[in-house]
Amino acid sequence: MGARRRNPQRSGRPRRGTRGHARRHGLASRVGRPQLPAEASVWGRRAVTEALRRGTSVERVFIARAQAEAMADIRSLAATAAVAVTFTDVSELDQLSHGGQHQGVVAAVHSPPPATIEDLLEGESAGGPPLILAADQVQDVGNLGGLLRTLESVDGAGAIVPNRRSAALTGGLARASAGASLRTRLVQVANIARALDQLRDGGAWVYALDQDGDTDFTDADYSRPTCLVVGGEARGVRPGVRKACDAVLRIPMYGGVGSLNVSVAGALVLYHAVRSRGEAIQDGA
């Protein structure tokens, strides 16, 4: 008895034309439904709006049919940026956002090209030497997102993150950072300490931030290429990483609170670094 031929429609294969559509728009598909890698999608109204406004490489915007009118501002931004809009079902948005809180809108984006330590050292921050952030196992997506948003706001040269035990570089991080993770040079490394050694070899000062530090953060020299290392929520900057730093900075606490959230602490030091550089330029004028 001959082998029975399988019906391609019942075997789970894409329907004719679906695969070509997916290739054209950079989307993998299965049974006619678009699929996006987690790092190539952004979801939520604010994140998608920021991506469109700030010149992120948005490929296509997907909007829930029932919310088409409510998304008039996003549709207008997409039209201005010549980005196609597709109206679809909420179930497909759930799939595109990998279960994230999409609020009825998802954007397919081009992931930023991978960066290197050399790229960060060659960068500039507000016209001066590069200001770099290294996040040592910061696992909360909100904290890492806040740090990257601050880094972008001070024109930081880029960030270094470990490829394990860190908040994932996905659309969730793009949302938490208001899209900053899509516009920031990010270097993923297997060993943070070795990456810091590379920075020091390239002429950068490397400062860890910890409440047990022996140097007030306002007394540090930020005039050269500088990397600020912040630690994870539970353990702070790990001992092996601290050894690769030139100094350990602290933020003085004057009230009953013993420490600050890592995102808040990082923001204080990053802004101070930029401000101190500006004051140094004025003093030298």
Per residue in 233-257, pLDDT (tens digit) is 888 999 999 999 999 999 998 877 7
Q: What is the pLDDT of residue 23?
A: 37
Q: What is the pLDDT of residue 47?
A: 83
Examine the pLDDT at 281 and tell me if it is beyond 70.
no
Encode 118-133: b = buried (16+ Cβ within 10 Å), e = exposed: eebbebebeebbbbbb
Q: What is the pLDDT of residue 280?
A: 52
Q: What is the pLDDT of residue 97?
A: 81
Give span(s): CATH 3.40.1280.10, the chain.
Answer: 117-284
In the chain, what is the straight-line distance between the N-terminal and C-terminal CA atoms, in Å?
A: 93
Q: Which two tokens stand for residue 265?
A: 């602490």
| CATH among 3.40.1280.10, 3.30.360.10, 1.10.3720.10, 3.30.420.40 for 117-284 | 3.40.1280.10
Q: Mean pLDDT of all residues in the chain?
A: 82
Examine the pLDDT at 17 and tell me if it is beyond 70.
no
- One-letter identity of residue 257: V
Choice between 260 and 19, residue whose per-residue pLDDT is larger: 260
- Find out if CATH 3.40.50.2300 is the number for domain 30-109: no
| Rg from Cα positions in the chain | 22
Q: Which two tokens stand for residue 34?
A: 């678009």
Q: pTM value? A: 0.75
| pLDDT mean over 204-231 | 96
Give span(s): CATH 3.30.1330.30, the chain.
Answer: 30-109
Q: What share of the chain is helix, strand, coil (3-state, %, to 5)?
A: 35, 20, 40
